[in-house]
Structure 1
Amino acid sequence: MKHAITRIRHALHWRDLTVRRTEHVTPRMLRLTLAGEALAGFTSLSPDDHIKVFAPGEAGQTERRDYTPRRFDAAAGELVVDFALHEAGPVTAWARGAKPGDAAQIGGPRGSAVVPHDFDWWLLVGDETALPAIGRRIEELPAGTPVTSLVAVTGPEEEQRFETAAAHQAVWVHRPPAQAADPAPLLAALETFVPPAGEGFIWIAAEAGVARALRRHVLEVMRHPAPWLKAAGYWVQGQADASEKLEA
Structure 2
Amino acid sequence: MKERNFERVRFELQQRPVVVSRVEKTSEGFITIVFTGPLLAQFNSLSFDDHIKFIFTNVAGETVRRDYTPRSFNTATQELTIEFALHAHGDASDWAKNARPGDSAVIAGPKGSMVIPQDFDWHLLVADSSSLPALARRIDELPKEAHVIAVIQVDDESDRRRFETASNRQITWVETHQQAIGLIEALELPAGEGFSWVAGEHVFALQARDILLQKGQAKEHMKAAAYWKKGAANFHEKI
Query: What TM-score does the superposition give when structure 2 sets the normalisation length?
Result: 0.94
1:39 maps to amino acid: L
Deviation at 1:156, TM superposition (A): 2.1
Paired residues of 1:138 and 1:166 also in contact (CA < 8 A): no
Q: Per-residue displacement from partner, 1:180-226 (whole Å, max 9, x unpaired)?
A: xxx42211121232322211000000111110011110012x11111
Residue 24 in structure 1 maps to residue 17 in structure 2: no
Is the partner of 2:199 in helix, strand or coil? strand
Post-superposition CA distance 1:76-117 (Å, at most 9, x none): 221110011136221221111101121121111011111111
- Residues 58 and 94 (structure 1 numbering): CA distance in 2 closer, same or farther, change over 3 Å? closer
For residue 166 of structure 1, report the CA deviation from its aligned partner: 9.0
Alignment of 1:151-190 (within 5 A): 151-163=152-164, 167-175=168-176, 183-190=177-184
Deviates more, 1:162-171 or 1:191-200: 162-171
1:97-142 residue CA offsets vs partner (Å, 9 max, x unmatched): 1011211211110111111112111000010011111000001012
SS for the counterpart of 1:227 is helix
- Residue 188 of structure 1 aligns to a residue in which SS? helix
Q: More displaced, 86-95 or 63-72?
A: 86-95
CA deviation map 1:9-38 (0-9, x unaligned): 111111111111111111101100111222
Aligned partners of 2:51 and 2:67 also within 8 Å: yes
| 1:144 counterpart = 2:145 | yes
2:50–2:69 contact (8 Å) kept in structure 1: yes
SS of corresponding position for 2:169:
strand
- CA separation in 2, counterparts of 1:218 and 1:99? 42
Report which stretch shifted further, 51-60 or 133-142: 51-60
- TM-score with structure 1 length normalisation? 0.90
Deviations 1:45-71 (A, max 9, x none): 100001111111475431000001001
C-alpha separation between the residues in 2 aligned to 1:164 and 1:45? Answer: 24
Matched, 1:231 2:224: yes
Given residue 215 of structure 1, which amino acid in structure 2 is its aligned partner?
Answer: R
- Residue 17 of structure 1 contacts residue 36 of structure 1 at CA under 8 Å; is this kept in 2? yes
> Is there any run of 5+ residues in structure 1 with no aligned partner, and where?
176-182
Question: Would the alpha carbon gap of residues 165 and 227 (structure 1) be closer, same or farther in structure 2, given more than 3 Å must change?
Answer: same
- The percent identity for this pair of structures is 42
2:233 maps to 240
CA-based RMSD: 1.8
Corresponding letter in the other structure for 1:38: L
Unaligned runs of 5+ in 2: none
Matched with 1:71 is 72
For 2:191, the equivalent position in structure 1 comes to: 197
Whether the 8 Å contact between 2:58 and 2:95 is mirrored in structure 1 is: no
* More moved, 133-142 vs 96-105: 96-105
In structure 1, what is the Cα distance between the partners aligned to 2:122 and 2:110? 27
Cα 1:116–1:164 change in 2 (3 A) is farther
